[in-house]
Amino acid sequence: MYVTLLFDVEDLTDPRADDTTLRIAEIFTEEDAISTMMVVGEKARLYEKRGRHDLIQALGQHDLALHTNRHSMHPTVAEYLEGLGWDEGIAEAVARERSGVEDMERIMGQFPSCWGRGGSTWGPQIAPALERLGVPAMIYTFTHLQDRRTHIHRFCGRPTYYWYFGGYDSTFSDDAAFERGWQEVLDQITLDQAEDVPWLSLFVCHPSTVRARTFWDGLNYNHGVNTPPDQWRMSEYRSEADWYTAQRNLRRFARGIANMPGVQLRTIRQMNEMIAPEPTEVAAADLQRLAQQAVAAPVIRPDGPLASPAEALYLWAAWIAAGRPEGAVPFRYVEGPVDEPPAHVGLLSLTREQLTSAALSLGAAVDRSGRLPASVSVAGQALGVGALYRLLAAAVADPSLDPVTVVDAPTVPALGDVLAEEVREGVPGWMHKPDLNVSTHAAYTRLMSWTLKPAALR
């Protein structure tokens, strides 16, 4: 199995963290445990300002990614996206994160391999914003497919790495705690190998809090407060003896994971290269197979890497609108709807002629905007895309049906409701202003669940 080692490099207040980060980067380089270092854009600018070329060089031996531009400084990602529409939010995210992307490359010498959420601050518009910024992937997101075997997935077209295991900040300075933590790592990898999980993201630590007893942002940036630099509070540090112990255990960790049987260390940059590209076309037989799976499923599900629910719907529509050709249909990415689709309860029946008209309307709407419309007009009525998904799946699965009839139709994939609730519960918290409203974050995450699908590895 593949394992990615992750470090979050983020303390924007205490210069003492720089030397801790330097030593940790050196230890993992020496043990050939090359990792992905998630560096905050503001942190890179601080390195430049402080003249820490030694640290820049040491981190450059690893893969470098952007851990947001400003992390906990207000407005955070969730705060600057608050209440914005979909396109407005994308533009805002591009403007806010651009300097982090550019400064990472200019100062650190690497274009970021991915963008990673800081703390709980996130919004779904980040995904298309990263496409515009050229950042190839994202990590630590609130999107997933509820299966550890598919933690690498696509959301809004971006390769996305969900979840992580670990977090051993204070563990390294305590031998007994380290032994317990290391056993957790061994147990998790053994479990994943037994269940054919292809990839695990193993979060090692925040370098700063290997020594600091308290998080920098908890002291200075909690609940919407931007503490002025001349009033920053610094954490108490663990003793030099603790630091000596921590370095020894960090080396044990790095050496152990680098030489573990059955484990291949890969950075996010390397994993990006292993993700299979999107298809250029989809064969008619594959469209029918997708449709048969959709008909058999009780809910709309992002099951396979070939097409997201949004892409499958568009491909079925294109196939029917083209007269059900024997050959392939050109593939394209399709974004989810930005408005709530109408729901349909009870029996819904359309003739083949009506379905063809609906398919033509949907295809034209996607070709104009790049996204699913919330609905299309059929016989003077608004037909939600959830209903159209059900109807077209049935029509493609069995071309002899006429009329095509379905019972009940959802508005979004079932997973969308799960993710929306996780956003509502998970984003607010101490690192944000107390009155943060995440209703649009949740709503757009739900709507964009139409774009979810597993990412296949080469």
Q: What is the pLDDT of residues 237-290, one digit of tens each?
A: 999 999 999 999 999 999 999 999 999 999 999 999 999 999 999 999 999 999
- CA 451/CA 154 separation, integer angstroms: 7
Pair of tokens at residue 156: 């809004």
Determine the topology of domain 2-274 in CATH: TIM Barrel (3.20.20)
Looking at residue 114, its pLDDT comes to: 98
- Determine the Cα–Cα distance for residues 341 and 363; give it in Å rounded to an integer: 16
Residues in the chain: 458
pLDDT for position 286? 96
Per-domain boundaries in the chain: 2-274, 281-411
CB 236 within 8 A of CB 209: no
In this predicted structure, the answer to whether residue 189 has a pLDDT above a threshold of 90 is yes
Q: Which neighbouring-strand residues pair with 155? A: 158
Nearest to 133 by CA among 162, 102, 177, 179: 102
pLDDT at 375: 97
* Nearest of 173, 161, 241, 160 to residue 205 by alpha carbon: 173
> What pLDDT is recorded for position 380?
86
pLDDT at 381 over 90: no
Quote the CA–CA distance of 57 and 72 in Å, as a whole number: 26
Regarding beta strands 36-39 and 2-9, do their DSSP bridges make them parallel or antiparallel, or are they unpaired?
parallel
Q: Is the pLDDT of residue 325 over 90?
A: no
pLDDT at residue 70 above 90? yes
Residue 352 — pLDDT band, cuts 50, 70, 90?
A: very high
State the Cα–Cα distance between residues 205 and 53, nearest whole angstrom. 23
φ, ψ of residue 12 to 5 degrees: the values are -100, 10
Confidence of residue 303 (pLDDT cuts 50, 70, 90): confident
* Count of beta carbons in the 10 Å neighbourhood of residue 5: 25
Residue 430 is which amino acid? W
pLDDT of residue 304: 87
How far is Cα 4 from Cα 270, in angstroms, rounded to an integer? 9
For position 164, what pLDDT does the model report?
A: 77
Query: Residue 209: is it exposed, middle or buried by C-beta count within 10 angstroms (0-12/13-18/19+)?
Result: buried
Q: How far apart are CA 59 and CA 27, in angstroms?
A: 11
CA 65, 71, 77, 80 torsion-angle sign: negative
Average pLDDT over residues 135-158: 96
- The residue-averaged pLDDT of 175-187 equals 97
Which parts of 282-413 fold into alpha helices (H)? 284-296, 309-321, 352-369, 385-397
| Short-list 384, 263, 260, 397, CA closest to 324 | 397
Eight-class DSSP state of 194:
H
Residue 441 has pLDDT above 80, yes or no: yes
**Predicted pLDDT of residue 340:** 97
